[in-house]
Structure 1
Amino acid sequence: MPSRPTIPRTPPPHRLTRRLITMLFATITLVASIGLVHVPRASAATVGSTELTSGWALRSANQVADPGPTISQVGYNTAGWNPISLPSTVLAGLVANNVYQNIYVGTNLQSVPDLTSQNWWFRGQFTASATTADQAYWLRFQGISYRAQIWLNGTQLDANAVGTMAAHEYNVTNLIRPGALNALAILVTPPAHDCKDLSFCTVDWNPEAPDMNAGLWGKTLLDTTGPIALRDPYVKTVLPLPATNAADLTVYVDAVNATNAPVTATVNATITKAGYPSVSVSQPVTLAANERREVTFDPAGYPQLHLTSPALWWPYQYGSPELYQLATSATLAGATSDTKSINFGVRQFTDYRTTVNGTSFVGYQVNGKNIFFRGGGYMWDLLQRWDTKTNAAHVQYVKDMGLNTIRLEGTLGNDELYDLADKAGVMIMPGFVCCSAWENDNTWTAEQEQVANASLESQMRALRAHASPFMWAYGSDQPPTAAHLTAYKNTATRLHWQNPTVDNVATWSNANAGMKMDGPYKWEPPLLWWDSPAQSGSAFGTTGEEGTEAPPPLESLQKFIPAANLWPIGATWNYHAGKPRSVFDNIQVYTDGVDKRYGTTTSAEDYSRKSELQNYENTRSFFEAWNSHEYTQSFGVIFWMLNNAWPSVHWNLYDYYLKPGGGYFGSKKANEPLHIAYDYKTRNVYTVNSTLTARSGLTATATVYKIPDLSQAYTTSVPVTATANAATQVLTLPALTGLSATYFIRLQLKDPAGAVLSNNLYWYSSQPDALGNKKNWYMTAVKTYANLTGLNSLPANPNLATSVTRSVASGQETATIKLTNNSPTNIAFFLRPEITAGNGGNEVLPVNYTDNYVSLWPGESTTITATYQSSDLGGQAPYLRTRGYNIPTTSTPVP
């Protein structure tokens, strides 16, 4: 059955004068007095929502002979079933019961059989609240994959609830047992493998989940209301751009009549924010039996919805992400029938187009200011497990890396992530997925068309109320067909979607897409990002995604690759690269880069220390190239990927275990608010100011040092004014001769007092990287590799001094780390301080450092702080472990 039937609309309230509204109330009273409208008694219904998480069990339908009407009876015997908590996919439930163990280690996932060839029963019991007069009960399923038959207390609610991303809702007032136990039975049919259904799809990012994420992945809710229920409140905000000193708000909320008779109610909406005037509006609504209707409050009919001097929601680094609160209620005869509340932001995203290298690319503005989006592609856990702590870590890591965007390519439905992004000022870039049934829409069945439209409706309703989404992509690699695109856009219009949209994000399939997806997806030297326009993946235009392999640090590799398979690189490593039998099922291209640039690796430890260097320089250069051309030739970038769905050696800025490594800290360096960057192609030096505040009186210094003796080969300084929200070329290094094979370039940006604002060290070669002519959609061949082996000849430096102190407040610890290079002649290169759980233990995770992978010249010192939760120490004492490319590893207790 359709989750949200289309309901005829009534004329908007602003067409009524106050006198007419008064007359309408009088008419309603008269109609009610003669019995044509149901007027409930003035006794308050129980209003609330309960998530049904416990009391559930899971079993294969092949092992259950009883039918749904029997299984959905209270007291049904579930002996032999697997107890689970919701939300849960089939495989997550089986793993929780140790049916399959350590499936992320080695190649153990291969031992899990195909779980999609059978149906699965989910059964649960719950106690419903006691009834009151005119009380209604609703069952709501925010995510079932892929199709389900649903029974409650022996009665079938739905014979075909289909669509992974489509929400399903049922009025169960006449079936519920108030104040007593109730039973739900849900027979789930999994999605088909190879992304043949309109389900979640991980394409070639990792092996497919053996169950294709079948199950109740979203929340299962029991709502209680009076005769009128409210759904999907939303505030659309419009600013008088370019001015931002006012805002027009339009409030929308759906009202649903739970009864079989007409009902009249008053719908109320109140907008509040501490320190700002409150706004309250209301209007009467008469709904026909079982009618669902959108109720609208706009400034034309309710002038109080025109705000002056509003508090604006700004993305990270642009300002504060201020949020307002909307509280809606429906009242009948003086009693509350339902309430719904949301947080929302007063902000307006707009888009514009600029032609670069003959192609039209999209750029975005927020509140009239250019916004350069930069972020990564987010992935849920392979079994779609998540929790508040993990969600919060993702959002915090994004901010810590200086990013401002999370892309969701079909990974939709994690409402808590949206909430956290709203509060953090992190933008969300949602849309449908590529390379699957979602893009094979020219062969859709009638049911698939219904599922696609219901999925868009459900997901847009969930997203539109949030401040963080800034756009929507109807397609990824391919645009939908014209007919389906029209249907999608009609849905967006009907839902008052207030943000820009794109048809898809790949100009290779749609010249007017506005974004490119031209790769690369395998490792390339830093040069490629700067080589514009010769390389299609270089930093010009707007890109929906591109990225490289990224093996995590050794400590993480040891968690999922058994010791016997850790070296040499072989089948187990490759199994954790990309989807088997895809072009990404190995990391040979990346390994060639490590071996041929840094020297042939001899062990897993040696490989890891060198790959950390390569990850750092690559992601730093990636973001620097895009940032340094912002608003002139580049307008937004997504690194593929932000994180991994399971332990992987391909595509991430931080690994599955949330351990920050070279890619993380390279990104953090590149995206610092005020930054100085080096162009590998032209030798230009840029400053990038990612804030809305200009900085003047600065000095940029560039110095070239030979290796290993650190003798200066060149130095220069120039005055700099860092324009707000812009990149500026400040100098060009000359072509130098007589350099060592490997050398350092040190860039520094200082304020008028001489304090260092940005400190950036490059290692490069007089034999630079050179790209070949052979290329395809996922890589460009490398003709010549830079010689970076000189780093291996840096003299050992045992003269690094470390000290650390700690403060603890409300369960959070802050360790203040001081590193001093006491050597009179030698650099302390690529230092990695870590807070570990115990002496020799693993790094405490998640963790945030103010800086890391730092290098110190003779006599220099730096102070770094690390923040983490005491509980993540696991009862161990904290230690400071310090490593470096040319210093010994030490471990010091943190007092």
Structure 2
Amino acid sequence: MMYRRALATLLLTVTSVLTIGALGPGGASAATVGSTELTSGWALRSATGLADTGATISQVGYPTAGWSPVTLPSTVLAGLVANNVYTNIYAGTNLQSVPDLTGQDWWYRGQFTAAAASPGQAYWLRLQGLSYRAQVWLNGTQLDANAVGTFVSHEYNVTGAIVPGALNAIAIRVTPPRHACADLSVCTVDWNPEAPDMNAGIWGRTLVDTTGPVAVRDPYVKTVLPLPATNAADLTVYADAINATAAPVTTTVTATISKPGQPTITASQTVTLAAGERRELVFDPAGYPQLHVVNPVLWWPYQFGSPELYQVTTAASVSGAASDSKTVNFGVRQFTDYRTTVQGTSFVGYKVNGQPILFRGGGYVWDLLQRWDTRTNKAHVDYVKGMGLNTIRLEGTLGNQELYDLADAAGIMIMPGFVCCSAWENDSGWTAEQTTVAQASLNTQMRALRAHASTFMWNYGSDQPPTAAHLTAYKNIAAGLHWQNPTVDNVATWSNANAGMKMDGPYKWEPPVLWWDLTRQGSAFGTTGEEGTEAPPPLESLSRFLTPAQTWPVGNAAWNYHAGRGGSVFDNTDVYTTALNQRYGTTTSAADYSKKSEVMNYENTRSFFEAWSARQHTQSFGSIWWMQNNAWPALHWNLYDYYFKPGGSFYGTKKATEPVHIAYDYFSRNAYVVNSTLTGRTGLTATATVYNVPDLTQKYTTSVAVSAPANASAPILTLPAITGLTSTYFVRLQLKDSSGTTVSNNLYWYSTTADALGNKKNWYSTSVKTYANLTGLNSLAANTGVTTGVSRSVAGGQETVTITLTNTSPTNIAFFVRPEVTAGNGGNEVVPVSYTDNYVSLFPGESTQVTATYATADLGGQPAYLRVRGYNVPTVSVPVP
């Protein structure tokens, strides 16, 4: 006998459950417990022209000659690209040559060997990501005729359909999502061209689990602190137990909480589950006093402390024999929210363990073909932390479980939610199926996220809130899942005055003064869900996806194709290029454009994060730069490029968010000291010095004694109006401790002709009336007096290169100098890579040390070289010994 539960049941339990045959409750002592991910041995082909049904295709031995072999997870287009059906699709306009792949269904077929039979053995097929709908077959039996929803997990008890200890065959027929974001699927709005397959396929993990009669699902530990105190915690453990059999089963479920160096805590309960029953079990301090923990070790976000993690193992046994076990990490921490009115609008702020925290981050997006691996996921998290940020926003890019795990371990907060400008947001006209899919999607994703220490909130909507009925349903799901983190209805006050976050742009380039001028739309007050500007990557990256003719002159068809979605206001970089030419001088080549754009990107992102940090917890409470990275090689919205080559935006951000920082306000000429840690600093001295350019004549200097209270910012001095300045001039801010050690060192370049904003504005930009004259940088004398010292150590597959840069010139600055470790002489920079600092500027006689860290494997077998170049420093390349 077989049955398939209705989609409404799927909504309540997150996973659809199909039971085939019957399994008696006895003899569980020999059951195998484990989980196997099915990655290899799959094949893909279009369903068009294939008359065979799933009943036939899912038979062992079915021939797949002519199919494309694929490794899961894989979207349709990713599989075809892996088989060279379409090649080099990210270069130029090549993606346009890929036909629409959504007008047909696609078959995936795979075989696997199941674990041998044993008494009491149950088998489960778990599909963690299908897009958009699918028919699922196993060994000729249809498990599901309509597994629908990109972000819905599907699970089937296949005990009666499996062939133990032998080959089994799975066939999955996928129907792609519709274009124009018409389905509740992945949508990249105006960020880049749509994927020709709309990311159809098996994008999540495919697992075969083996358990005894009772399976354990979704363990979660809710942690509550006696705030403002943090010297105790009440832990409540939740887990679901599923009876895999057709008869009642009595099971003992034990929760074990452990951490090295801390006491181990256990709690057990025995329950009887009806046939096929799924029940949530709860272990709370009221019934288990040992779950009240004294002096817990807390999880803290980056710069606030150590992201300490505990483990909880939830194990089920039947008649004394192990039936199933699940282990997850969790953090003892508590996020809370509060509201502050700034300029007449209520904004949301967040606290972690009772401490207010300014969230600073970027909007993450996965690869256009949804390809990722551990190296890629780790690089993203490492780069966020390397920039000094503490948050990753996920606007609809949900389900990358490894990313969550890495964020937990790194102390990076996750800000998840659904996407804007699509079927997700156009919910007033949903069909009954769409309503069910949306709610099941929330159920699936919240179950995955709730156990993670890094998750600090949830956005139910982006640009607009859901309708009242859908919002109520969402909140009921969250309550049923014991979601303990704050939520917001959406992140845009323009559509919902009580949203708590604004989203008023800009999305095109603006001068640094805009972030500081609180009268301007998009300036650094309140809480922002996103804003950002164009950011063309360095020339080496441009040259990987554009030909020389496409990199210069800029603004050609291929260039614009990589700017943003065609037909949107973002399908060009005209605003950016105009500003670059006006401020830094008319660009004359691709190399000149890249050199100047790196400086402008650095200048802008540094000022953005400085402005938000300077008013933390009083007028500003959190900011997201749109975007963190790109789905494919792009010119718009990123802090680092698709290839992980860190550029001006990366290092400007890194400078702005250093733990203790001295910052310059372009609008008021104030200098601020910002302390982003929970440890105060005293005995500091701040110095501000102004120089003419290019001769470095000192025109003004002042020093003041300052302290830097923990988790706070304050203005410390104001630069006066200074006469006799050249059109372009330098402002140098330095912060030193009582021993003379530099804590923060910042060089700004500005003009007696300041950037001035106009009155014209719209949702994505504010007009610029006057551009700053920074062309004096082009008259800096060439500096050939920069010397380098370099050494290397290797351990555990990682290399650390120590670089010493010295400016031996007695008169000339070495401006905006970039050291890079390259694979071979003149090769590309080794990526991913971490530098302690970069794009450094050295005054005459000064020296600095920079450390680079990367994986030996990323040299690709080439010798390591150090390349050094700067705005006025010629390129030098030397071998790394």
Please classify the TM superposition score into its range, dividing by the shorter chain length: over 0.9
Shift, 1:754, TM fit:
1.1
Q: Deviations over 1:795-819 (max 9, x none)?
A: 1111111110000011100000000
Letter in 2 for 1:547: G
| 1:664 aligned to which of 635, 642, 650 | 650
Partner residue, 1:16 = none
Structure 1 unaligned spans of 5+: 9-36
Matches within 5 A, 1:749-788: 749-788=735-774
1:330 equivalent in alignment to 2:335: no
Q: Deviations over 1:498-535 (max 9, x none)?
A: 10000000000000000000000000000100010x11
Partner residue, 1:340 = 326
Q: 1:301 to 1:5 in 2, by over 3 A?
A: farther
| 1:561 aligned to which of 532, 536, 546 | 546
Give the SS at the match of 1:43.
helix
Deviates more, 1:37-46 or 1:724-733: 37-46
Shift, 1:607, TM fit:
0.1
Q: Aligned partners of 2:355, 2:823: CA distance in 1, in Å?
A: 44
Matches within 5 A, 1:564-643: 564-569=549-554, 570-643=556-629
Letter in 2 for 1:494: G
Contact 2:530 2:625 in 1 (8 A): yes
Deviates more, 1:169-178 or 1:57-66: 57-66
Contact 2:114 2:166 in 1 (8 A): yes
Letter in 2 for 1:359: T
Matches within 5 A, 1:138-217: 138-217=124-203
Q: Aligned partners of 1:130, 1:537: CA distance in 2, in Å?
A: 61
1:544 equivalent in alignment to 2:549: no
Shift, 1:40, TM fit:
2.1
1:72 equivalent in alignment to 2:58: yes
Contact 2:56 2:140 in 1 (8 A): yes
Shift, 1:85, TM fit:
0.6
| 1:524 aligned to which of 510, 523, 526 | 510
Q: Aligned partners of 1:683, 1:254: CA distance in 2, in Å?
A: 58
1:236 equivalent in alignment to 2:222: yes
Shift, 1:563, TM fit:
2.0
Partner residue, 1:808 = 794
Structure 2 unaligned spans of 5+: 1-5, 14-22
Q: Aligned partners of 1:887, 1:368: CA distance in 2, in Å?
A: 48
Q: Aligned partners of 1:480, 1:737: CA distance in 2, in Å?
A: 56
Partner residue, 2:679 = 693
1:2 equivalent in alignment to 2:18: no
Q: CA RMSD in A?
A: 1.0
Shift, 1:595, TM fit:
0.2
Q: Aligned partners of 2:644, 2:564: CA distance in 1, in Å?
A: 19
Q: Aligned partners of 2:520, 2:548: CA distance in 1, in Å?
A: 40
Q: Aligned partners of 1:887, 1:255: CA distance in 2, in Å?
A: 65
Matches within 5 A, 1:238-277: 238-277=224-263
Q: Aligned partners of 2:615, 2:660: CA distance in 1, in Å?
A: 15
Contact 1:313 1:347 in 2 (8 A): yes
Give the SS at the match of 1:422.
helix
1:709 equivalent in alignment to 2:714: no
Give the SS at the match of 2:311.
strand
Shift, 1:566, TM fit:
1.6
Partner residue, 2:721 = 735
Length-normalised TM-score, structure 1: 0.96
Q: 1:153 to 1:38 in 2, by over 3 A?
A: closer
Contact 2:465 2:489 in 1 (8 A): yes
Deviates more, 1:62-71 or 1:490-499: 62-71
Contact 1:412 1:459 in 2 (8 A): yes
Give the SS at the match of 1:644.
coil
Letter in 2 for 1:188: V
Partner residue, 2:17 = none
Letter in 1 for 2:29: S
Shift, 1:4, TM fit:
5.7
Deviates more, 1:559-568 or 1:423-432: 559-568
Shift, 1:63, TM fit:
3.2
Q: Aligned partners of 2:768, 2:228: CA distance in 1, in Å?
A: 47
Q: Aligned partners of 2:841, 2:802: CA distance in 1, in Å?
A: 18
Partner residue, 2:19 = none
Give the SS at the match of 2:793.
strand
Shift, 1:5, TM fit:
4.7
Contact 1:3 1:168 in 2 (8 A): no
Shift, 1:122, TM fit:
0.5
Q: Aligned partners of 1:328, 1:364: CA distance in 2, in Å?
A: 31
Q: Aligned partners of 1:471, 1:715: CA distance in 2, in Å?
A: 45
Letter in 1 for 2:815: F
Shift, 1:130, TM fit:
0.6
Partner residue, 1:86 = 72
Deviant stretches of 4+, over 4 Å: 3-8
| 2:781 aligned to which of 779, 795, 801 | 795
Contact 2:147 2:154 in 1 (8 A): yes
1:674 equivalent in alignment to 2:679: no
Shift, 1:536, TM fit:
1.8
Shift, 1:737, TM fit:
2.1
Matches within 5 A, 1:344-423: 344-423=330-409
Shift, 1:41, TM fit:
2.3
Partner residue, 1:848 = 834
Q: Aligned partners of 1:384, 1:840: CA distance in 2, in Å?
A: 32
| 2:44 aligned to which of 58, 67, 84 | 58
Letter in 2 for 1:70: T
Shift, 1:47, TM fit:
0.4
Identity of aligned residues (%): 76
Q: 1:785 to 1:794 in 2, by over 3 A?
A: same
Letter in 1 for 2:529: G
Partner residue, 1:501 = 487
Shift, 1:738, TM fit:
1.8
Contact 1:3 1:167 in 2 (8 A): no
Matches within 5 A, 1:639-650: 639-650=625-636
Q: Aligned partners of 2:521, 2:693: CA distance in 1, in Å?
A: 34
Letter in 2 for 1:555: E
Partner residue, 2:3 = none
Contact 2:28 2:323 in 1 (8 A): no
Contact 1:44 1:337 in 2 (8 A): no
Q: Aligned partners of 2:127, 2:750: CA distance in 1, in Å?
A: 55
Contact 1:38 1:262 in 2 (8 A): no
Contact 2:25 2:245 in 1 (8 A): no
Q: Aligned partners of 2:10, 2:154: CA distance in 1, in Å?
A: 11
Contact 2:254 2:269 in 1 (8 A): yes
Letter in 2 for 1:73: Q
Contact 2:24 2:245 in 1 (8 A): no
1:286 equivalent in alignment to 2:286: no
Letter in 2 for 1:74: V
Partner residue, 1:20 = none
Q: Aligned partners of 1:573, 1:400: CA distance in 2, in Å?
A: 29
Shift, 1:6, TM fit:
7.2
Shift, 1:39, TM fit:
4.9
Contact 2:25 2:120 in 1 (8 A): no
Letter in 2 for 1:435: C
